[in-house]
Structure 1
């Protein structure tokens, strides 16, 4: 609460690109309202130029992030979870306003988001063992398959679950060594912006996660057709928009994760979202050498 006679310090919400918080290149913003229609804030309205800048940052960060040890990636994700725990009250307020749920229910959703991040952090040095294999072949050779990250992934966050759903689509992408450009929920972007502030002050290298706020219909097709994006997660796309994004993604044979209807983000996520953005490399080696 602002004391009488003192002006409130209004927050200016920006994008998160390359570890920094730039204003939108367009200079535009849009009003974010609560589930009851009350004004909450103005969020940056990202342009195509902002999306291109985000892809450049993600590509620049990819060699270092994919080259880090899985154990190190897991440590960093756990650090992000620690810092989210420290800002729990703010996340609870934002989820309450976005979804119109009680503070108690919002607290459960925030706790689930933190737990989900810890769960994925634990998979960082295990998914390779689960996905890799030693293959029997007819000849005196070792034949070994191992997983590698796909590259830069464009992610359309779900409109529901503005925090838990967001974590559930970002964490499996980055824990496996990919970098990403995320289009936050157009309806409820404030938890995503707060998450960006957490990421910026954690050990996550700049550019590994880039968060855009704005019109989904403007950004998703552009990212899907971008020739330096290797894969797209269309979870948050409505059906018609998902079809046009798939058509754009076909230009450079991107991997595409299709939306599957309404998702229960509280359910066991399984490993499917991690393996969706992994490539398999198989090598042969003569026995005895």
Structure 2
């Protein structure tokens, strides 16, 4: 009995089998769903040191057209929702983003070459910016509209309304905070959006789509495409059902920005030209008001 007992004591546990890593498959976000690119293409995404991170879907012109269709379909419901309701939805986005703070910090650190502390600060700033715009949803009308004095027995009221479907070329270097800073004001005002991510650093934006999908944002309100900015920007700028375009992501290519602005003029799109931006600064109300139109209503007094 003693020999058997000794053998049991000296026996070693079998080594655990090696575990294969589960690599994330990044997808587009169109109409509230996560399709692969229609073309089936992908491209390699590397970190700031050139190390491979993942393959991202390379969107095609067909993907861009599908995203516009989804955005147009969602526009009536989103623009018709109360401003208070839109604010609640945007606040929920901030809640969900905060709940995945460490994941986004890791992706931002890889994308922008930041320290962990700086990346965490960037994620916190992005969440704070969503809260800031959430608070503006029911206050926009107070600064952009009002009653106008007229010489006659009429009420004359100016009311801001959303422009429609807005194509947004996200900043190339600020993968999350910059993305939030250009997207949030578009949808806070009741517009729907087709976003082209940073070409070199799309992963935080593609992961952010998962936050949107679980944050009560109706399908199609935000559509996110990754790929070549020029390849996607040209058909979006020329698309007849896109009402406005933000050219921020084309800021590093003056020739491309001019080409897109020329194409946008065909159906009189509103165009926000690229400019040097400090995404950590107070954003003000400029972007909120850029994609709003003013409707003036006359009504006889006493009727």
Q: TM > 0.5 between the two?
A: yes
Match of 1:64 in 2: 77
Q: Which has the larger radius of gyration?
A: 2
Is 2:275 the counterpart of 1:267? Answer: no
Partners of 2:146 and 2:86 in 1: how far apart? 22
Match of 1:54 in 2: 67
Partners of 2:17 and 2:293 in 1: how far apart? 59
- Find the partner of 1:121 among 134, 148, 151: 134
The ranges of structure 1 where at least 4 consecutive aligned residues each deviate by more than 3 angstroms after the TM superposition are none
- Find the partner of 2:213 among 200, 203, 206: 200
Q: Return the offset for 1:133.
A: 1.4
- Find the partner of 2:295 among 258, 269, 281: 281
Is 2:263 the counterpart of 1:241? Answer: no
Partners of 1:45 and 1:209 in 2: how far apart? 18
Count of aligned pairs between the two proteins: 286
- Find the partner of 2:168 among 133, 152, 155: 155
The CA deviation string for residues 10-56 of structure 1, in whole angstroms up to 9 with x for no partner, is 21111000000000000000000001100000000000000000000
Match of 1:22 in 2: 35
Q: CA RMSD in A?
A: 0.8
Partners of 1:31 and 1:120 in 2: how far apart? 33
Partners of 1:6 and 1:267 in 2: how far apart? 45
Structure 1 unaligned spans of 5+? none
Is 2:94 the counterpart of 1:81? Answer: yes
Match of 2:201 in 1: 188
- Find the partner of 1:173 among 181, 186, 193: 186
Match of 1:250 in 2: 265
Q: TM-score, normalised by structure 1?
A: 0.98
Q: Return the offset for 1:160.
A: 1.5
Q: Return the offset for 1:163.
A: 0.2
Q: Return the offset for 1:4.
A: 5.1
Match of 1:42 in 2: 55
Q: Return the offset for 1:201.
A: 1.2
Structure 2 unaligned spans of 5+? 1-15
Q: TM-score, normalised by structure 2?
A: 0.93
Partners of 2:155 and 2:219 in 1: how far apart? 39
Partners of 1:239 and 1:135 in 2: how far apart? 41
Q: Secondary structure at the match of 2:175?
A: coil
Q: Return the offset for 1:5.
A: 1.5
Is 2:125 the counterpart of 1:112? Answer: yes
Match of 2:105 in 1: 92
Q: Secondary structure at the match of 1:282?
A: strand
Partners of 2:45 and 2:64 in 1: how far apart? 20
